[in-house]
A and B are shown apart, each in its own frame.
Chain A
Amino acid sequence: MIEAYRRMRDLVGAEVLGLLAFLVIVVIAFSLATPRFLTGENFGSIAFQLPELGLLTLAMLVPILSGGLNLAITYTANFCGLTLAWILQVHGGVDAGFGAFLLGCAAALAVGATAGLIMGLVIAYVGAHPILVSLAMMIFIRGLGEFLTRGGDISGFPDFIRPIGHGSVLGFPIPLLIFLVAAAIWYIMLQRTRHGFSTYMLGSNLEATRYSGIPTRRTITLIYTLSGLMCAVAGIVMVARFNSVRVGHGDAYLLITVLACFLGGVDPFGGFGRVLPVAIALLILQVLSSGLNLIGANQHLSTAVWGLFLIAVMVIRFGWQRLALRR
Chain B
Amino acid sequence: MFKRFAAPLLGAAVIAASLATAAVAQDKPTMGVVVKIGGIPWFNAMEVGIKEQGDAMGMDAFMVGPTSADPALQVRAIEDLIAKGVDVIGVVPNDANAIEPVLEKARAAGIKVVTHESPAQKNVDWNFEMASSKGFGEAHAKMLAEAMGGKGSYAVYVGSLTVPLHNEWADYAIAYLKDNYPDMKLIGDRYGVAESVDDSRKTALDLIAANPDLTGFLAFGSQGPIGIGRALEETRKVGEIAVYGPFSPGQGRQLVKEGAISGGFMWNPMEAGRVFVRVGDMLVKGEAITDGTTIEGLGEVHPDGTNIIVDALIPINKDTVDGLADLGL
Contacts and interface: CB of A to CB of B under 8 A. Distances in A.
A68 interface: no
A18 B9 contact: yes
Contacts of A210: none
Interface string B1-32: 11011101110111111011111100000000
Q: Is the interface of B mostly helix, strand, loop or mixed?
A: helix
Contacts of B12: 22, 308-309, 312
Contact of A48 (B19, B64, B79): B79
A25 B10 contact: yes
Interface of A: 5, 14, 17-18, 21-22, 25-26, 28-30, 32-36, 39, 41-42, 44-46, 48-49, 52, 150-153, 155-156, 162, 165-166, 238, 241-244, 246, 248-253, 288-301, 303, 305, 308-309, 312, 315-316, 319-320, 323
Nearest to A316: B8
Given A17-B2, A241-B101, A152 B162 contact: yes
A300 B39 contact: yes
A151 to B, nearest CB: 6
B76 A316 contact: no
A250 B20 CA distance: 27
A246 B83 contact: no
Interface stretch (B66-74, B127-135, B239-247): B66-74
Given A34-B24, A290-B83, A21 B162 contact: no
B15 A308 contact: yes
B62 interface: yes
B97 interface: yes
Interface in B64-94: 64-68, 70-73, 75-77, 79-85
Given A25-B10, A41-B85, A320-B5, A242 B101 contact: yes
Counting chain B CB atoms within 10 Å of each CB, the highest count among A45, A166, A308, A323 belongs to: A45
Contacts of B2: 5, 17, 21
Contact of A22 (B13, B70, B100): B13
Interface of B: 1-2, 4-6, 8-10, 12-17, 19-24, 38-39, 62, 64-68, 70-73, 75-77, 79-85, 95, 97-102, 105, 109, 162
B67 A34 contact: no
B21 A296 contact: yes
Contacts of A32: 17, 20
Given A18-B5, A33-B20, A36-B85, A252 B97 contact: no
Contact of B66 (A156, A249, A299, A301): A299
B4 A323 contact: yes
B64 A293 contact: yes
Contacts of A250: 70, 72
Nearest to A18: B5
A52 B72 contact: yes
Contacts of A242: 71-72, 75, 95, 97-99, 101
Nearest to B100: A243
Contacts of A251: 68, 70
A14 B15 CA distance: 24
Contacts of A35: 23
Please provide the 3 A-B residue pairs with the shortest distance between their CB atoms, ordered closest to farther: A33-B20, A244-B97, A29-B17
Given A243-B97, A243-B100, A295 B38 contact: no
Contacts of B80: 45, 49, 289-290, 293-294
Given A36-B85, A151-B162, A300-B38, 6 more contacts: A29-B14, A152-B162, A250-B70, A289-B80, A295-B23, A299-B73
B67 A49 contact: no
A21 B64 CA distance: 30
B9 A298 contact: no
